[in-house]
Structure 1
């Protein structure tokens, strides 16, 4: 039966090429790009995140037992608390931000192709990319994404000189801990800066083929699902588990560190928040609750400081 494997693989590839060719020839490049991006986000981010979210809501006790931060990482913050308007608002804004990102992508591509009359940022063609070229684009795309995420996240969204840092603190860092669907919850402009640009700009700079871009977005989406699911054990153990714990600590600390995704730039920049493994679950939960309390107090202090300064100016 082994001799049938190459034939089956070739047949599947031929079927995929015919389907892709038909899609490209029967629709405009812009429509293919937007449909492909939306379908990838739906399949690899919204669908699994929604499943995790529903599981957390319907079975809070079971979910809390496998959460790295316990019941604090549930959408409601407690296994006996019912789902409220705040959690629905957060989930809805997360989905809306994804829609806004795809809309921004459409505006960029329309401007390039219809107004400026130049090549599109993403290459849509019948000819498929070679496997080696696809792999090279993915590697340099993820490297540039990591650099952009670290720089934009740390020096803009956590820089008190920018008003956008205040919005990021009030929106994203109002979370107690990451839970499904919260990866894209933020002020729309802040989301555009540290979620859309680091993904779309590398693809535009290297002019990814649409197939390469879909693979890129799919991997990013799965990474975002796992990093914000909150579960103690995740697929691809060490690598993605490390990413998930880094996201936990970034939110719980109120944004004191862990600005990049994989951690190398945080290590070089001295902004790493260490993951402690020697604590017992009870000690970890107490530390998490204390960290959340301090983060909330710090967030309130940052919110009230601009108001106090404004009052002082009026008094003067």
Structure 2
């Protein structure tokens, strides 16, 4: 518990809400917290407790709140769900309780598997798996590693999902279909993120995120940030809501809903890029999603307005210069 409370990511996001300190003070507070954490706990403990805390805060808690909304106010929930009423969870307390417990057990299994891999890798390498020091990673290094991790994750997610989890006649595919795709013609809800059979779950959720990190071996803070971003993305995409904000996230949620509603006939990637390239998109592809979401948020209209305003300002400036020149010429003639 002391590790969880001393996580610098938690304190970093909590500080602005609790105080009115400036950004510089927040960064200093963040650095001091991280330094204290590194000096008082082992890298492995920080990695495992930090990852578990991220998944609890950014998946389990929101998923339970969404489940409460879906079952407590179904008339409201169905209006913002892809495919409407069929996408709502069954309002059966025993069934939902078993599903929640199953998801939590799977979360514990994923954490245990990650712990085993991390311990084995650390012993093999004779050093901590992730770079853990009091020196914070540079912004460009963070961006470079995050982009590399996302690229590798997209490739792994697509090919594992398509050729293993949905392979015709495959044993793992049957387990995935039985557990994750039990509902036909419906979008998922967030608790289903970890309510799959453990084997396909580890292949689909843990491996694409953790394996690239094992190869790249970024700073531990970068890995925790990547885990936060992917957990939020997966939680929102699995929510089944049609009101997920953002140009990209709205499309990801829509494609995830189509994947589950079609029982896995397409939309295998996380971001839809490889589905678009390989022609496995179900419904609208990623390009159409971006165009639709951009139109919905009136990006084009705002851009045209900005261009028009800029053009008007430039024209006003030119007119002002011309008037000034005419005035000076008139005075010189006089």
Deviation digits for residues 95-130 of structure 1 (CA, Å, limit 9, x no counterpart): 22222111111111111224x352333222221111
Q: Summarize the alignment of residues 119-268 of structure 1 with structure 2, pairs less than 5 Å apart.
A: 119-176=127-184, 177-236=187-246, 238-268=247-277
Structure ranking higher in helix proportion: 2
Looking at CA atoms only, which structure, 1 or 2, has the larger radius of gyration? Answer: 2
1:51 is displaced (CA, Å) by: 1.1
Deviation digits for residues 146-196 of structure 1 (CA, Å, limit 9, x no counterpart): 000001110111112421111111111113430121122211011111110
Distance 1:39 1:70 in 2: 32
Q: For the structure 1 residues 65 and 21, does the alpha-carbon distance in structure 2 shift closer, same or farther, using more than 3 Å as the test?
A: same
1:225 is displaced (CA, Å) by: 1.4
Q: For the structure 1 residues 58 and 166, does the alpha-carbon distance in structure 2 shift closer, same or farther, using more than 3 Å as the test?
A: same
With 216-225 and 119-128 compared, the bigger mean Cα shift is at 119-128
Contact 1:57–1:83 (CA under 8 A) maintained in structure 2: no
TM-score scaled by length of structure 1? 0.79
Give the total of aligned pairs: 264
2:72 corresponds to 1:63: no
Distance 2:65 2:104 in 1: 14
Contact 1:180–1:229 (CA under 8 A) maintained in structure 2: yes
Distance 2:281 2:267 in 1: 5
Distance 1:240 1:213 in 2: 21
Distance 1:146 1:103 in 2: 24
Task: Specify the alignment match of 2:50 in structure 1.
Answer: 36
With 56-65 and 191-200 compared, the bigger mean Cα shift is at 56-65
1:8 is displaced (CA, Å) by: 2.1
Distance 2:114 2:283 in 1: 36
Distance 1:26 1:135 in 2: 28
Distance 2:35 2:99 in 1: 39
Distance 1:101 1:67 in 2: 29
TM-score scaled by length of structure 2? 0.75
CA RMSD of aligned residues (A): 1.7
Other structure's SS at 1:183 match = helix
